Chain A
Amino acid sequence: EAQVTQNPRYLITVTGKKLTVTCSQNMNHEYMSWYRQDPGLGLRQIYYSMNVEVTDKGDVPEGYKVSRKEKRNFPLILESPSPNQTSLYFCASAGGLGQPQHFGDGTRLSIL
């Protein structure tokens, strides 16, 4: 089954404690992206990757890092999380320019 898998689904942690949210897709997609969803703001893009070792900032990249060492994986790293990063995060992938994105089920992060 074609899917985008995120882990963990839920995480409560404390300010300053580094965390990583993993994202993996099994569709051999070149494009992957991370979004955060906040009430009243819709989804905002954090980072995206056009291919292995190619990443670029989205609209709200501050406080986040990503890496793309393999085509299937695109982890999101919060080096020093802060409460304003409490949000619902989605990973997505797409097969190419203009193709619709496939979304994971989301990761709800709470930073205390």
Chain B
Amino acid sequence: QSALTQPASVSGSPGQSITFSCSGTSNDAGDYNYVSWYQQLPGKAPKLVIYEVTNRPSGVSNRFSGSKSGNTASLTISGLQAEDEGDYYCSSYTRNNPLNYAFGTGTKVSVL
């Protein structure tokens, strides 16, 4: 299945807000409100930070927020902190064959 498209890297200074995108098609991100986001810190397993486009799991900082417009979902990290540095992946349910789950290409977040 095709991957969702994310920018390779994004950077920001501590305290700033950053937003990065996840672009799909009408068969995945555009068709459903089942986009989720995962944080993967160096050497660790991924961790869910946003599900169903805008929902934050219990225990996840409210500095993480999600949105979607058309075929593109976005993740915003507010008040950027050094501990946020890592890789971020979006994912979406798709209705290909008869179902699949696509992941994004991944965005490396750097804190300057």
| A and B form one complex | no
